[in-house]
Amino acid sequence: MNGYLSQFKKKIKAKKLRVAVVGLGYVGFPLALEFARKSIQVAGIEIDQGRLKSIAAGKSYISDISDQELKDVLARGYFKLSASFSSLKECDVVLICVPTPLKGKYLPDISFIKNAVKSVAQNIKRGALVVLESTTYPGTTQEEILPIFERHGFAHGKDFYLCFSPERIDPGNKQFPLPKISKVVGGIDKQATDLAAQAYGMIIEKVVPVSSARTAEAVKLLENTFRLINIGLIDELAMMAHKMDIDIWEVVRAASSKPFGFMPFYPGPGVGGHCIPKDPLYLHWKAKSFGFHSRFIQLASDVISRMPEYIVKRVEDVLAKTGKKLKGSKILVLGVTYKKDVKDLRKSPSIDIIGILKKQGAKIAYSDPIIPFLKIKEIDLKSVILNKNSVVKFDCVIIATDHTAVDYGFLLKHAKLIFDSRNIYQGKNRDKVYRL
């Protein structure tokens, strides 16, 4: 065992590791706080000055982390902020949690990863463990990241250790906080995997080692591809069921009574967030380099991406029954975040619905209890406060995101017409409520 490896394991055992988290977004921020809660020194590296100022002021920009939780961690002194990578020189573990968007619809963009890795390679000390958590295509860690470190004179297994561990954070899920979500780790070699497993074991209840970084990368893509395809399937079945005058929600509820061989998925206005809309397309793209075309992934993605248009068409049909045209009608979109009770607008289907309605000449407003202002994609609106006088002004209310803070009974009493894409009313009051 080399000296670096021996020293690293001693620090893990004594809980004397110094950890750096690069990128304090929805993944890195909770991760950094969790290590700090365990009395482990953490350096939070973030280039966004707005985030740094917010954290320093004890103001959380993530709904899963309260201001008080943040202040409590800061008060203990284990969490330090920095916009500079120079602090990595003192860290034993570096966790990279940066965005991995798409260029267009199908082309992965790993430029954020590469830029972060270059900065890490210029600053880490010998013997450090580097872990990538950003979701990416199989082969990224081995084929893209490892060579960057090698060009900076680092030999793997001698000077540093490299691993991939897919993030699995589910915003808004109180049942599964970060420590209770199993952590998959796969290194360039077994030593890297073992080190990562021990490091994460300090904050995670169960760590699942796999044979390689490539396998760990594929794990995350399988998880979200599974969800994408099943959501695409149930969305298509919802459209089919409507044609057949069948209640798809009742069908799913009855099918769920089977104790084996079925897992319920539910239709909706589309899919948002940082994972499901893009992660499977990374796999779709990588498969092409092996001469394989993944028809399931592309089909499911296409079906889901058309759901906002389908919602608008259904609303147009509903309005026609009352003698109104979509153009000129006053429409209130209720809920603009991609997920209920989560303050996150990334790829929210509600934004697409508003955009489509606007293009078709409807008079648009929105209401969301956690998004007071909406300025995105040529949309500049202020959230409508729901009261009797405001609700009755609209020809139709579209329930796009089912926030728990909304009084749906009040809405049902005062709204003229409701299009319910989230099954809030479960088939009741069909004269006023139309469901997806």
The last residue of a domain, from among 154, 184, 215: 215
Ordered per-residue pLDDT tens for the chain, 436 residues = 566 777 878 888 888 899 999 999 999 999 999 999 999 999 999 999 999 999 999 999 988 899 999 999 999 999 999 999 999 999 999 999 999 988 877 789 999 999 999 999 999 999 999 999 999 999 999 999 999 999 999 999 999 999 999 999 888 888 999 999 999 999 999 999 999 999 999 999 999 999 999 999 999 999 999 999 999 999 999 999 999 999 999 999 999 999 999 999 999 999 998 888 889 999 999 999 999 999 999 999 999 999 999 999 999 999 999 999 999 999 999 999 999 999 999 999 999 999 999 999 999 999 999 999 999 888 899 999 999 999 999 999 999 999 999 999 999 999 999 999 999 998 765 689 999 9
The last residue of a domain, from among 303, 333, 349: 303
Torsion 260-167-41-37 (CA) sign: negative
Dist CA 12 CA 433 (whole Å): 58
Query: Do 140 and 176 sit in the same domain of this protein?
Result: yes
Dist CA 233 CA 307 (whole Å): 12
Domain limits for position 232:
223-303
Query: Do 98 and 239 sit in the same domain of this protein?
Result: no
Please name which of 119, 74, 115, 120 lies closest in space to residue 94, comparing C-alpha atoms: 120
**Do residues 371 and 345 lie in contact, with contact meaning Cβ atoms separated by under 8 Å?**
yes
Tokens of 145: 């990241």
Dist CA 296 CA 303 (whole Å): 11
DSSP readout, 361-420?
T-EEEEE-TT-SEEEETTEEEEPPP--HHHHTT-SEEEE-S--TTS-HHHHHHH-S-EEE
CA angle 428, 431, 433 (to 5 degrees): 55
Query: Do 198 and 274 sit in the same domain of this protein?
Result: no
Q: Give the CATH number of the domain where residue 262 resides.
A: 1.10.1040.10
Dist CA 361 CA 192 (whole Å): 57
Alpha-carbon distance values, 85 to 36, 47, 112, 116, 243 (Å): 19, 10, 15, 9, 57
Query: Do 285 and 162 sit in the same domain of this protein?
Result: no
Give the end-to-end CA distance of the chain in Å, rounded to a whole number. 61
Q: What is the pTM of this model?
A: 0.91
* Annotation marks residue 396 as catalytic: no
The last residue of a domain, from among 173, 195, 215: 215
Query: Do 415 and 281 sit in the same domain of this protein?
Result: no
Query: Do 312 and 274 sit in the same domain of this protein?
Result: no
Query: Do 138 and 247 sit in the same domain of this protein?
Result: no
- Of the candidates 91, 97, 163, 275, the residue annotated as catalytic is 275
Q: How many domains does the chain have?
A: 3
Query: Do 108 and 17 sit in the same domain of this protein?
Result: yes
Query: Do 164 and 237 sit in the same domain of this protein?
Result: no
Tokens of 394: 């609209």
Query: Do 277 and 310 sit in the same domain of this protein?
Result: no
Beta strands in 241-370 (DSSP E): 330-334, 363-367
